[in-house]
Structure 1
Amino acid sequence: MSGLYLGSRLTVAPLLRAIWRPHVEGARNVPRRGGVLIASNHLSFVDSVVIPLCSPRKVFFLAKAEYFTGTGPKGFASRVWFNAMGMLPVERDDPKAAAHSLEQALEVLEAGEAFGIYPEGTRSRDGRLYRGHVGAAHLAMQAGVPVVPVGLSGTPDVQPIGSNLPRLAKVSVKFGEPLTFGSSYKAMPAGKARRQATDEIMDAIAALSGQERAPGYNERPPAT
């Protein structure tokens, strides 16, 4: 465990929990050791901060590479913060970014760590839960690790879309029981197994978050 991360757990994490006072359920469902995939709904930029703060163990997430490359005092502070929170840089505009992200995730899982992922791909702007992409199931099956579904609520109120500063709001984090995809899935064609496992993950997330389901995938808004 890095010194930066340990320092954040001992200082920053208690402070933020005292301010937000998140309601946490099911933390015991997160295995304390071994690789595990933390699969959550995605409502706000702060989701990747709230989950590690409420998890009983370190959770790695991917973050845009520009958060690690800034200059001056602001750039330095950004690097320290994102490194302390266990974020890993990824070049999202790189055509090979998706493949590289999967490689990074597998390395984390195979090292016996926890990796956080949003099966929807991007955050929901209307509050509904969208169909999951199969990357999460692929990672779980490839690494042979359980998936802990997570249902978040309230995080859009902490940092609404378009806002640069966080606000006080009630946040709920629910960790569900681990899902495993064993022999019955291995007997299926790979594509069918990943799709069925992904749908099972999304059903578990929906049960935890209470969100309305959307019929299709959530598309990333066009760049401006």
Structure 2
Amino acid sequence: MMEIYSASDNCPLQAQKTTQKPQITVYEGNISPLLTSTAYFLGYHFLLPFFFGQIQILGQEHIPTTGPVILAPTHRARWDALLLAYAAGRYVTGRDLQFMVTVDECQGLQGWFVRRMGGFPVDTKRPAIATLRHAVEVLQQGKMLVIYPEGNIFRDGKVHTLKPGISRLALSAESYQPGLGVKILPVGINYSEPYPSWGADVTINIGPAINVNDYTIGKAKQNAKQLTEDLTRSLQNLSSPELTVSHHAFAEIPNS
């Protein structure tokens, strides 16, 4: 039985149930392997190393190389998506990332590229069931899905209130297919300046994965709340300016 919960704060925690596996028709057929490969190559080897002064990646040992993963990063700049692919994409894990993005980010020329590189839009005010089902199917296929749990870009360095949709979505996927093994990977992205300019430094802190199956016993609403609270704490720790690196494996990529 399929249960999809609303990703919006304005919608009650209600389940819409079906007895058959949903038919997904949300943009996946538009993904361009050629464009994706080219973008990864140019971004990894040229654009990001040229633009940033130093890119420091901590905690790559926490990234699962198999199974369904939701990357849950803080959202600090438009560069975030490229940096996530740089830190956890095909050159690190052998897998590409798919992104759940706002409708506004899928407009015009930018939207054309976003859709063909694995992005698909969600209306955060009125999320369509088809979009949420597509996100669940991405996880069922054992892929890596990026969802920004804060919803918007915040440049003050603080972790803002997380949207409940990410926890509900993860729990829906796990409950529909017990033993699926969904993991949520918290990621803190920290820039040396609020609006990154040429030569700015960035640190990407990847925390231990949260096992969604640990939150499937008991009432769904309480489980989603607890999962959101635990994810919030993880992101706060990863965004702390006092974070030390002595116990992490890290990659440091200077400007070449």
Q: Same fold (TM over 0.5)?
A: yes
Instruction: Output the CA distance in 2 between the equivalents of 1:13 and 1:79.
Output: 21
Structure 1 residue aligned with 2:119: 87
Does 2:232 correspond to 1:193? Answer: no
Per-residue deviation at 1:177? 1.1
Give 1:19-168 correspondences, 5 Å limit: 19=50, 20=52, 21-55=54-88, 56=92, 57-65=95-103, 70=108, 75=109, 78=110, 81-83=113-115, 85-88=117-120, 90=121, 92=123, 96-97=126-127, 99-144=129-174, 145-154=182-191, 157-159=194-196, 167-168=198-199
Per-residue deviation at 1:86? 2.9
Instruction: Output the CA distance in 1 between the equivalents of 2:115 and 2:237.
Output: 32
Per-residue deviation at 1:115? 0.6
Instruction: Output the CA distance in 2 between the equivalents of 1:207 and 1:118.
Output: 17
**Alignment check: 8 A CA contact 1:52 1:58 kept:** yes
DSSP-derived class of the 1:173 partner: strand
Q: Which runs of 5+ in 2 are unaligned?
A: 1-31, 175-181, 243-256
Per-residue deviation at 1:155? 7.3
Per-residue deviation at 1:4? 1.8
Per-residue deviation at 1:22? 1.4
Instruction: Output the aligned Cα RMSD.
Output: 2.7
- Alpha carbons of structure 1 residues 178 and 68: separation in structure 2 relative to 1, 3 Å: closer
Q: Deviations over 1:73-115 (max 9, x none)?
A: xx3xx35642464322x2638x633645422321211121101
Instruction: Output the CA distance in 1 between the equivalents of 2:104 and 2:187.
Output: 27
How many percent of aligned residue pairs carry the same amino acid? 24
Instruction: Output the CA distance in 2 between the equivalents of 1:176 and 1:13.
Output: 22
Higher helix share: 1
Amino acid at match of 2:183: P
Structure 2 residue aligned with 1:5: 36
Give the number of aligned pairs: 197
Structure 2 residue aligned with 1:162: none
Q: Which runs of 5+ in 1 are unaligned?
A: 160-165, 213-224
Instruction: Output the CA distance in 2 between the equivalents of 1:101 and 1:4.
Output: 23
Amino acid at match of 2:69: V
**Alignment check: 8 A CA contact 1:149 1:177 kept:** yes
Structure 2 residue aligned with 1:219: none
Amino acid at match of 2:217: A
**Alignment check: 8 A CA contact 1:29 1:178 kept:** yes
2:234 to 204, 213, 219: 204
DSSP-derived class of the 1:182 partner: helix
Instruction: Output the CA distance in 2 between the equivalents of 1:52 and 1:9.
Output: 8
Amino acid at match of 1:108: V
Instruction: Output the CA distance in 2 between the equivalents of 1:91 and 1:141.
Output: 18
Higher strand share: 2
Structure 2 residue aligned with 1:181: 212
Q: Deviations over 1:48-94 (max 9, x none)?
A: 22211221332211334565553xxxx3xx35642464322x2638x
**Alignment check: 8 A CA contact 1:43 1:155 kept:** no
Instruction: Output the CA distance in 1 between the equivalents of 2:163 and 2:105.
Output: 25
TM-score normalised by structure 1 residue count: 0.75
Per-residue deviation at 1:168? 2.9
Instruction: Output the CA distance in 1 between the equivalents of 2:220 and 2:122.
Output: 28
